[in-house]
DNA sequence: TATTGTTATACTCTATAACTATA
DNA sequence: TATAGTTATAGAGTATAACAATA
């Protein structure tokens, strides 16, 4: 009966993926959300923290704490925007880019373990069905 | 690029479902995990706490805390097994059964909001694809 | 007035480790 | 020795509220 609930199945899948991520990515020190921040900042240098919060469905205050640690580790830096001085654009440092490359490889290996269980069509389908939940 | 990651999509879906659950079930006081415990205890009266932990992918110590609160609210009770005196079987109280019925209705309404977005075939497919991740 | 970022704070959720009582 | 349950504890992860600076 539990197995028929969408919420139960999504939660079990999420827990499984999160634990495997922790075991195989960044020696357990990089969380999925932090990885996402790095990826987004690389794709869109100078991205605002509010926008990260929106894209990751977090409160902006939570994002601040995450970036504090990333900045402390020298992987990103904040730069005040000259156009809108309220904004602190986020940039991945050269060291961060290097680290990100390693992380991406680890994430790929981690994901592959699960993607292997599907055909390409099934993966595309699964992703698109999941997006219908949160989009 | 993030959108192509299985982990990202599952996480976003899970967060969306969990927030909606909190808004629509048990006045925000019942968490998904707690609901699951009630359902499992109803389906299998006297179920052991270790087994709940296993089925919900939690540590047994975490289950103890959850059941403490359920017991405090009078929704379940522990009864020492006479066959194996280490075991504390879990039983839903009459009051708990009443409450569970309400919760089930609320969960159904909550789930329906999302299930509406799919055809029956798609739902079955989504669930079966998700199970391949955690089974 | 609204928005960006920040700080301080508190709460929830979970695991770990060490323990007991039973087996 | 192993298992079921418990306690104490600590560490995450997050949100809320109040604030400063800027628009």
pLDDT in tens, B79-132: 999 999 999 999 999 999 999 999 999 999 999 999 999 999 999 999 999 999
CB-based contact A57 B133, cutoff 8 Å: no
Residue A56 is predicted with a pLDDT of: 95
What's the rounded mean pLDDT across residues A107-135? Answer: 96
How crowded is the C-beta side of B60, counted as CA atoms within 13 Å? Answer: 6
CB proximity B93–strand D (7 Å threshold): no
Using a CB-CB cut-off of 8 Å, the residues of chain B touching A39 are 1-2
Please give the C-alpha separations between residue B26 and each of A99, B16, B20, B22, B104, in angstroms, as whole numbers.
Answer: 44, 17, 12, 8, 10
pLDDT digits (tens, 9 = 90+) for B42-84: 999 999 999 999 999 999 999 999 999 999 999 999 999 999 9
Question: What are B99-106's contacts with CB under 8 Å, separation 24+?
Answer: B99/B38, B99/B75, B100/B38, B100/B39, B100/B42, B100/B75, B103/B25, B103/B26, B103/B30, B103/B35, B103/B38, B104/B39, B106/B24, B106/B25, B106/B26
- Do residues B100 and B19 make contact, with C-beta atoms less than 8 angstroms apart? no
Share of chain A above pLDDT 70, in %: 100
Q: Could you check: is the Cβ of residue B61 within 7 Å of any atom of nucleic acid strand D?
A: yes
Q: Place B12 in a pLDDT band, splitting at 50, 70 and 90.
A: very high
Three-state secondary structure string covering B59-76:
CHHHHHHHHHHHHHCCCE
Structure tokens at B109: 């309404």
Angle, vertex CA A12, rays to CA A8 and CA A15, nearest 5? 140
Token pair of B130 as six digits: 């998700």
Please give, rounded to a whole number of angstroms, the shortest distance from the CA of A67 to a CA of chain B.
18
How many Cβ atoms from other residues are within 10 Å of residue B58's Cβ? 17
């Amino acid at each position: 009966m539990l197995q028929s609930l969408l919420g139960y199945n999504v939660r079990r899948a999420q827990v499984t993926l999160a634990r495997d991520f922790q075991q195989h990515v960044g020696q357990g020190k990089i969380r999925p959300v932090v990885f996402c921040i790095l990826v987004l900042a690389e794709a869109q240098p100078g991205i605002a923290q509010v926008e990260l919060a929106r894209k990751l469905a977090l409160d902006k205050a939570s994002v601040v704490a995450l970036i504090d640690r990333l900045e402390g580790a020298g992987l990103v830096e904040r730069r005040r925007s000259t156009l809108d001085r309220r904004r602190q654009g986020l940039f991945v440092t050269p060291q961060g880019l290097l680290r990100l490359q390693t992380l991406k490889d680890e994430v790929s290996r981690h994901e592959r373990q699960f993607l292997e269980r599907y055909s390409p069509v099934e993966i595309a389908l699964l992703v698109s069905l999941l997006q219908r939940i949160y989009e």
